Amino acid sequence: MEKVASELPKTIVRRVVKDKLSRCAKGDADLNVHKEALSAFSESARIFIHYLSATANDICRGSKRQTINADDVLRALEDIEFPEFVEPLTAVLEELREKNAGKKAGTSKAKEVKKNKKRKLEEPPPKEEEEEMQEEEGEQEEENGDEDGSDGSESSSKE
């Protein structure tokens, strides 16, 4: 069989097939899947994805849109007579939307905190804070002057 560019990754197909078969198998039997069977699963999945995509695309164009959305895929599953997939897919989709909404909320909060920090750095401090900062600087200068043996006043250098 010639390798096709749109072939699904074999390791993922193997993992999905073995996972499903282990759930269906009775006992702890370790099931092996022949290489040709994995190729058949892979090709079947590829064809199913293309068929589902084409149907969802037709639904999307029928609605005069250019972007396929999740609702188009759900309708396509019903159109190609796989309605048993709609309910579990809808549940997974809702979980994903909730998870993404939580991430977006966290991201927007982080952005807001970042903006506030940036504003604080850009805004001049209030006059009270500015005066306190000047007083602190003056005290530090006095302390530094005392440490090096000077009296804090400006001294003239020898000419």
Is residue 93 located within the same domain as residue 104?
yes
Tokens representing 140 are 């530090």
Q: What is the pLDDT of residue 124?
A: 59
Is a pLDDT exceeding 50 seen at residue 158? no
Tokens representing 146 are 């005392």
Question: How do residues 50-68 score in pLDDT, each as one tens digit?
Answer: 999 999 999 999 999 999 9
Whether the Cβ atoms of residue 12 and residue 51 lie closer than 8 Å to each other: no
Is residue 20 located within the same domain as residue 46?
yes
Is residue 20 located within the same domain as residue 38?
yes
93 within domain boundaries: yes
Task: Compute φ and ψ for 34, nearest 5 degrees.
Answer: -65, 150
DSSP state of 27: T
Instruction: Give the total number of structural domains in the chain.
Output: 2
Domain of residue 22, residue span: 1-81
99 within domain boundaries: yes
Question: How do residues 1-45 score in pLDDT, each as one tens digit?
Answer: 444 457 889 899 999 998 888 888 776 667 788 999 999 999 999
32 within domain boundaries: yes
Q: What is the pLDDT of residue 118?
A: 65
Q: What is the value of pTM for the model shown?
A: 0.57
**Which DSSP string corresponds to 1-23?**
-PPPTTPPPHHHHHHHHHHHHHH
Q: What is the pLDDT of residue 157?
A: 47
Q: What is the pLDDT of residue 46?
A: 94
Is residue 62 located within the same domain as residue 104?
no
Is residue 16 located within the same domain as residue 71?
yes
